[in-house]
Amino acid sequence: MRKFCKVLLLAASVLAIVATVATAGGNQEASAEGPIIVGSISAPRTLNPLFFPSRQDSIVTNLIFDNFVMPDKEGNMVGRLVESYDVSADGLTYTFTLRRDVTWHDGEAFDGDDVVATFEMLGHPDYDGGMNRVGKIVGAAEYAQDPSLGLAGVSLSDDRYTVTVRVTAPSATFLPGLYFPILPAHAIADIDLTNLEEAPFNSNPVGTGPFVFEEWVVGDSISVTANEDYYLGAPNVNRVIVKFGDQVALTSQLQTGAIDILEVDRDGYTTFEGDPEFTIYSYPMLSVDYVGYRVGPGRADDTAGELPVFSKTIRQALAYATNKEALVEAAFGVNGYAHDSVFPRGSIADSPNDTPYDYDPARAKRMFESEGYTFNGQSGFFEMDGEPLTIELLYAEGDAAAAAILNEQWREAGVNLELRLLDFGALINVLLRKSDAEGDLEDDGAAFDGENVATDSPFEAYLLGFAQESDPDEYAQYFVDDDFWNFYHYDNADVRRWFAEQAVTVDPEARQEILYRISEQLAEDLPWFVYAGTNEIVVTRASIGGFDPDTRGYTLDAHLWTLE
């Protein structure tokens, strides 16, 4: 999972890298000329793809690991380490036939033991790595209580190359949820799951992918070398280096030939547009940018009171006060497009019937008035009982442009927007703050009893983005009764029921109808006000061939790259 919840992933990415680097898998013979050098504006936090994986991590981990199954470019689930699979007529049994020509980078053969070990790691009670994908397997609940029982619903053929998985109920989401890399059983055996963050494997990984980890120079680069025994064919280049730096410096290095591939922003697009020495690739990502609102009270003293944004009418008025097209043009340029669904463009759940909230400041003002606010011509703000309509908006540096434009647009509509810039880690800490049943906070010391703990954040509104990994069901935890992730306190019985129904509706058309209802209801209720979708723009030197990026990640098929 390379794009798990962006909130948590980016929170994890602020943790320090303390590991030293090493070489895994031994020396490799040169496959062809190289290296190809990829620029990245952020170093990975970890090279363990099953520990809070992030998009920045995946730039490297896609080179080293292979997925169990994965979506093709049309979104259909296909095998990778799986050669073929079948689903029983009742939808309760999945039979996976594994490839027999796969070898781990350290020379060990890949087989079903690795699959079982990975599944059991994800379901283990001590695992805390952000990948909850095996809960639907028969026996998963019992295994989580007593790992000595094993996962009862997973079995292997005698030759270890057929994996049979039984699930507790038919599921439309189980197979897409298996879109993650498999780890070697012999490496997992040495991992202390109670201290997964410090596992040596995280900085010295062993995979089955097209490239073998070579070296991590902390703060500078990560190098991988060609896997000559790769089952899909040896890579066309002998080495790939992922070099870290800031956007301006990396853009300059791409211009001078010091690097070969770079994801660019709007300024970078302008820099390389029309230059025959470079090729520009642009495509929509499965991601959205949004304003998140706390829509109800919490338990702590500072979250128990009422806020203007608790009113759906106020949230809708703010949406009508937003000129999304102007906002996207100014803050994103070619890197974005105006959008209106919590589900990104290209998702099967993106309904064509979502409320678009076309820019209508006059309508916004009427809606403020309907909530009891009166416009004060002197202050320029709507007021109630002498107090201006004030909303605090939290944001990190990456959303500074969008925050400034929203401030301008909402102030024009009579809203006193108070911007609060936070370090990204600090923002995440605010959003994920916990309280117990009595409202005592996690950092209150002895007063916090640790019982019935839930996220209890004091925010009013914030800016962030979210990337769908492989299936719309990933959104369920945010908009249903999840004590950890539903920190908006959003509560809609229909949405809860629909999320449950779509998860077990295996007919694609019927499921899409349910997902559309979810999309339309969330667009009406606006716990998230989505204003933009994201385009990814990657520039390569014209000498790079075999480059065919898409929403799954531009390093996914790096073994096909050529250097002319």
More confident residue, 298 or 469: 298
Residue 377 sits in a domain whose CATH number is 3.10.105.10
Looking at the domain assignment, is residue 81 inside a domain?
Answer: yes
> What's the total number of domains in the chain?
2
Is residue 548 located within the same domain as residue 456? no
Looking at the domain assignment, is residue 281 inside a domain?
Answer: no
Q: 156 forms bridges with which residues in the sheet?
A: 163
Closest CA to 467 of 377, 346, 370, 309: 346
Query: Would you tell me how many other CB atoms lie within 10 Å of the CB of residue 341?
Result: 25
pLDDT tens-digit series, residues 146-169: 999 999 999 999 999 999 999 999
Give the helix, strand, coil percentages of the chain, each rounded to 5.
Answer: 30, 25, 45
Does the pLDDT at position 349 exceed 60? yes
Is residue 93 located within the same domain as residue 58? yes
Looking at the domain assignment, is residue 196 inside a domain?
Answer: yes
- Dihedral sign (CA 55, 61, 67, 71): positive
More confident residue, 447 or 88: 88
How does the average pLDDT of the chain come out, rounded?
91
The CB-side HSE value for 494 (13 A sphere, CA atoms) comes to 11
In the chain the first and final C-alpha atoms are separated, in Å, by 32
Is residue 80 located within the same domain as residue 161? yes
Is residue 304 located within the same domain as residue 220? no
Looking at the domain assignment, is residue 557 inside a domain?
Answer: yes
Confidence of residue 76 (pLDDT cuts 50, 70, 90): confident
Is residue 555 located within the same domain as residue 521? no
Tell me, what's the pLDDT at 34?
A: 84
Q: What percent of the chain has pLDDT over 90?
A: 79
Is residue 557 located within the same domain as residue 507? no
Looking at the domain assignment, is residue 271 inside a domain?
Answer: no
Is residue 216 located within the same domain as residue 298? no
Is residue 195 located within the same domain as residue 336? no
Q: What is the mean pLDDT of residues 20-39?
A: 59
Looking at the domain assignment, is residue 471 inside a domain?
Answer: yes
- What is the rounded distance in angstroms from the CA atom of residue 300 to the CA atom of residue 337? 38
Does the pLDDT at position 228 exceed 50? yes
Q: What is the mean pLDDT of residues 258-272?
A: 93
More confident residue, 283 or 67: 67
Looking at the domain assignment, is residue 284 inside a domain?
Answer: no
Does the pLDDT at position 9 exceed 70? no
Q: Look at strands 387-388 and 381-384 and give their pairing.
A: antiparallel
Looking at the domain assignment, is residue 275 inside a domain?
Answer: no
Closest CA to 182 of 84, 57, 79: 79
- What is the rounded distance in angstroms from the CA atom of residue 38 to the CA atom of residue 80? 24
What domain range is 451 assigned to?
293-535
Can you give the pTM of this predicted structure?
0.76
Confidence of residue 32 (pLDDT cuts 50, 70, 90): low
Residue 556 sits in a domain whose CATH number is 3.40.190.10
Contact 544, 260 (CB under 8 A): yes
Is residue 459 located within the same domain as residue 317? yes
Omega into 44 within 30° of 0, i.e. cis?
A: no
Is residue 489 located within the same domain as residue 558? no
375 sits in the region (left: phi over 0; alpha: psi -120 to 50; else beta) called beta
The CB-side HSE value for 416 (13 A sphere, CA atoms) comes to 14
Is residue 60 located within the same domain as residue 178? yes
Is residue 326 located within the same domain as residue 440? yes
